[in-house]
Structure 1
């Protein structure tokens, strides 16, 4: 991936969005990338409210004016704290359409947004705006969770040996060039349940697992070499990838996970609803999703 040139923050002006803006400003400062803050209001509920409550009042304009003031105040804070001059935009319309339009107009190569508090609230968010952004993926998406304190130090990159894996590694190197990058592969033994059902003895099952593991070790080493990370730490674990990724994030004290939107499944388009969505829901650190 080429160096960052433009970062777009999609904000709803919440405290979680402020975390996202601060992380984006930190990246903008360190990588000399331009930065814009975008607030989008869906006009439909305001038009309905206007009809019911205040027919002579332009509620949408008031909301956009207020959002513009708050966005400018946020930009001023970012300038004071990070010496970054952020552009400010407000728009009305479909949130996803407007975000996509600005990404294309600005040639953004990173979109940043905030995640809401605890798991239940995060699922509500991921079921709406973030989930829809993931389905379209105009560019890599960084979902920010805690308030940023420093540069990323330990980055976990789960890989499945598909072309998406190499892109995710390159993205991790571009976003966090000084961080330690850890490559993780979680493998499952094909047909293990069927083998157990057939009453295969434990020694045979163990040999079967070892064959799968050795093959995964060879592929992980080859991928590390191809990505220019031959000396990177490589972690190989057995089990469901969705759960193992989150476990390793906490065990290895990672502050960023870089995961591909899709894998090698025949149902690739559903992966956002499985492994990637699980990581977004349950991880404690920021998550960067690669197209």
Structure 2
């Protein structure tokens, strides 16, 4: 199992985004990875600010950059006690989404870390937000942080669909949280169940279809665990009937999962053009941190 080498945490220097930086520091230390800390001054915000000045100071942009640089240095100094290795700072001007994805590519970052809320970098997890736009643009794992990071993750929930994405999700989860208990969750529904019922298919026949899907899911779960090379003592697996979003969030609530690791895309071509609908729902509703693969 390969380790993490480079973690890029992007921050807007807000209090909420600080949680993401703290988690990035903890992960970098635990994984012996290099930490890269980035702040982007949005050109759109700069242009709006210039409009407010009747007579714009010649050095306005430079003054703002210098102030941001000092804030970034202060943040790193405050976080330094939790960091066992080195860290680099990156300050730039431009489109926030472009700058984050370009920096991640330039560094060949193994992991991107963003806050779930912030004053401008990550405002809300809705269509058009910075987080979602970064997720659309990057093929790299992205960790969305909501919770404080007093310790490493102890329980990780991984929804699986038995595709190659599921194996990748398990691999990355083990790299981020090697000591955590893993819960693999597969949910299933009978296709067109409502239409079948309307067409006269009996409840007994529908129950038999659900039982068959349950057995198939359990068989494929066992195959996935074997392919992933997971020790039985380190995980718990569930195959449940019902809506995926509902089951994932219900399990998170009942079991106190600290991290959900979920695939970026859905299973059809339309969802492949966007974020999968289940992934978007989990991002907006989960209480825990969410790692999108």
Normalising by the residue count of structure 2, what TM-score does the alignment of the two structures yield? 0.92
Does 2:52 align with 1:46?
no
SS at structure 2 position matched to 1:55: coil
Question: What is aligned with 2:198?
Answer: 197
The one-character-per-residue Cα deviations of 1:50-73 (angstroms, maximum 9, x if unpaired) are 244142344332222111111101
> Aligned partners of 2:265 and 2:48: how far apart in 1?
38
| Partner residue in 1 for 2:250 | 247
- Pair 1:43–1:271, CA change in 2 (3 A): closer
1:16-42 Cα shifts (integer Å, max 9, x gaps): 211111110001111111001100012
**Number of equivalenced pairs:** 287
Question: How has the CA–CA distance of structure 1 residues 288 and 221 changed in structure 2, closer, same or farther, with 3 Å as cutoff?
Answer: same
Separation in 1, partners of 2:149, 2:48: 38
Matches within 5 A, 1:1-291: 2-53=2-53, 54-116=55-117, 123=124, 127-229=128-230, 231=232, 232-270=235-273, 272-290=275-293
Q: Give, in whole Å, the separation in 1 of the partners of 2:123 and 2:45.
A: 23
Q: In 1, distance between residues paired with 2:45 and 2:123?
A: 23
Distance 1:48 1:202, change over 3 A: closer
**For residues 52 and 225 of structure 2, what CA distance do their matches in structure 1 show?**
61
The offset of 1:4, in angstroms, is: 0.6
* TM-score computed with the length of structure 1 as normaliser: 0.93
Cα displacement (A) at 1:138: 4.0
Instruction: Name the CA distance, whole Å, in 2 between partners of 1:241 and 1:282.
Output: 13
Q: CA deviation at 1:82?
A: 3.3
**TM-align CA RMSD:** 1.9
Distance 2:139 2:204 in 1: 49
Between the aligned partners of 1:61 and 1:126, the Cα distance in structure 2 is 33
Identify unmatched segments of 5+ residues in structure 2: none
- Following superposition, the deviation at residue 244 of structure 1 comes to 1.2
SS for the counterpart of 2:275 is: helix
Given that residues 266 and 275 in structure 2 are in contact (C-alpha distance below 8 angstroms), is that contact kept between their aligned partners in structure 1? no
Cα distance in structure 2, aligned partners of 1:280 and 1:124: 7
Q: Tell me, what secondary structure is at the counterpart of 1:3?
A: coil
- Tell me the secondary structure at the aligned position of residue 143 of structure 1: strand
Q: Which deviates further from its counterpart, 72-81 or 271-280?
A: 271-280
Question: Structure 2 CA distance, aligned partners of 1:122 and 1:188?
Answer: 34
**1:199 Cα offset (Å):** 2.3
